[in-house]
Structure 1
Amino acid sequence: MTRDSRRCAPAAGLALVLLMSALVPVQAGGDDPAHILAPTGKLRAALYPGTPTSILPDPGGQPRGVGYEIGKALADKLHVPYEPVVYAKNAEVLEAVKTGAADVAFTNASPARAKLMDFAPVYLRIELGYLVPDGSGLKDVGEIDAADRKVGVTSGSSSDAELSRDLKNATVVRIPTIKDAIEQLSTHQIDAFATNKATLFEMAEKLPGSRVLDGRWGEERHAIAIPKGRDAGLDFLRDFTADITSSGLVDAAAARAGLKGIIASEK
């Protein structure tokens, strides 16, 4: 080996090391919860309008809603910017979490949804019921399942899945949005609309003469949902959920949103 070739060897070796390091993917963030749960550097929270469990517009310019406030608290805890994304339909919220277009959603943790996304522990339980329009003779949930009844549900919702299975006589009518459901109730295209009572009481305020029927046909168990493949962040979310329930954040957000139909936690 000549003197010149010996002089070039260290430089060539360094170049090879730099080339190889460029080909090896960098594992940025490691086990950092922010990297796992908000990989784009901001927390994209999927929300659905018209329900106090998610987000409601506020005349003063500050949105209300349990999901909206939990998302903001989670972004603060992760030390990342908060980016609420409001979808027109609940089905779009679920799709966004399923595909990873959103980082979190705040929704009913049903067994069917658990196959498509991962859930933290439940932070809120709400009664499921029916809203009937002005002039309806129906008095309680036990009168719903009759052959001449048309019961509206939000397309792709957990109410859709459950009532399509459980109602043996009534006809289930799938409706895209809460706004559409209010329209169909007001024109008596449907006899009742089914979802959680938090949403039903909110709808009733926009539909004079309507009533939420006595009784309940089930309950929703709301929890933070994340895309599959990010389960390394679930321990963080378990601790976060315990914090927001014990600190009163969930109760305070529910009160600000005027949320009704809550099932009290067992002590």
Structure 2
Amino acid sequence: MNKFLFCLAILCFSQLSYSQSNRTMKTINPAMITSFAPTGTLRVGINLGNPILANEDPISHQPQGVTVDIAQEIGKRIGLPVKLIPFKTAGNTVDAVKTGEVDLVFVAIDPVRGADISYTPAYIQIEGAYMVKASSPIQSNEQVDVANNEIVVGKGSAYDLYLTREIKHAALLRAASSQAVVDDFMSGKGNIAAGVKQQLESDAKRYDGLRMLPGRFMVINQAIGIPNARPQYEQTTAYLADVITQLKQSGFVAQAMKRHQIEGARVAD
């Protein structure tokens, strides 16, 4: 009897494995791959403007980080070589996917960008925060959106897009990139700096007399984006959504964050 149950279990497992393999084969088809990466190489836009997502290796000068790891995994799964194309800002990265220069990007989900980009579910959530000078009378986020306040933010970043919609009374001063926000702020521009919490905390170490405001003003969902102008983009997005779900559930994303010593973010639900 035990032998019978054992054999039955083996048979069920084999059928399940075959079913899962067959489903994967149906999902990855030549037409989808051709639409997804028409050059035969998966061209991936890497945003170096957000240190949580990626940065430049100081020795090899090549992009490294969580998004690079995910991009390489996707290339492995679809059987295509991966070409990493770095950009200094999120805005430049988004422009590149809209013009067809790249096939896939890692950017924040935003309704303004959503008109041209199809998103997967989020893989990482990042906090946006404010920083002021130690002498500033501002003590909380609620005191930011006030007339005569000036907020320095990276041009075209998710924070810029969000604050453009939400800020009603304060003025926005746009730095060339997220990395330039604190330098512009310390050069005398504005009285509040806004951006990735981790980026601001890191930049604050280069200067004296700065402090973060408690809490956050927004949570940003980072996802994979592809151009929705391409044929079969819905099928491609569904496939990538499934990949992201698997990478989150398996611990791949969490392990990548740990490997690259990422703090100030968490794996998205």
With normalisation by structure 1, the TM-score equals 0.79
Aligned to 1:149: 149
Checking the alignment, whether the CA contact within 8 Å between 1:53 and 1:67 is kept in structure 2 is: no
Q: Distance in 2 between matches of 1:49 and 1:222?
A: 14
Post-superposition offset of 1:135: 4.5
Give the corresponding residue for 1:251. 254
Deviations 1:123-167 (A, max 9, x none): 111222113345544333222122232101222223222212322
Query: Which shifted more, 253-262 or 67-76?
Result: 253-262
1:22 paired residue number: none
1:233 maps to 236
Q: In 1, distance between residues paired with 2:63 and 2:87?
A: 15
SS of structure 1 residue aligned to 2:98:
helix
With over 3 angstroms needed to count, the CA separation of the structure-2 counterparts of 1:72 and 1:214, relative to structure 1, is same
Amino acid at match of 1:179: Q
Structure 2 CA distance for partners of 1:202 and 1:85, relative to 1, 3 Å: farther
What is the deviation of 1:104? 0.8
2:203 matched residue in structure 1: 203
CA contact (8 A) 2:63 2:86 kept: no
Alignment of 1:59-74 (within 5 A): 59-61=58-60, 63-74=63-74
Relative distance call for 1:45 and 1:163 in structure 2 (3 A) is same
How many residue pairs end up in the alignment? 238
Aligned residue in 1 for 2:46 = 47
Residue pair 2:42, 2:75 contacting (<8 A) in 1 also: yes
Q: Identify the residue that residue 7 of structure 1 maps to in structure 2.
A: none
- CA positional deviation for 1:44: 1.1
Matched residue, 1:190: 190
CA offset at residue 209 of structure 1? 4.4
Superposed displacement of residue 179, structure 1: 3.4
| Deviations, residues 22-64 of structure 1 (Å, cap 9, x unaligned) | xxxxxxx964543232221111111222422332123343643
Could you tell me which amino acid in structure 2 is paired with residue 252 of structure 1? Q
Contact 2:147 2:170 in 1 (8 A): yes
Q: Distance in 1 between matches of 2:251 and 2:50?
A: 20
d(CA) in 2 for partners of 1:161, 1:77: 33
Q: Could you tell me which amino acid in structure 1 is paired with residue 67 of structure 2?
A: G
**CA 1:65–1:183 in structure 2 vs 1: closer, same or farther (change >3 Å)?**
same
Q: Provide the C-alpha distance between the structure 2 equivalents of 1:37 and 1:65, rounded to a whole number of angstroms.
A: 23
Unaligned 5+ runs, structure 1: 1-28
Identity of counterpart residues, as a percentage?
27
Map 1:106-121 to 2 at 5 A. Answer: 106-121=106-121
Cα shift at 1:68? 2.0
Deviates more, 1:241-250 or 1:157-166: 157-166
Change (3 A) 1:78 1:196: same
2:128–2:216 Cα contact (<8 Å) kept = yes
When the two chains are superposed, the root-mean-square deviation of aligned CA atoms in Å is 2.4
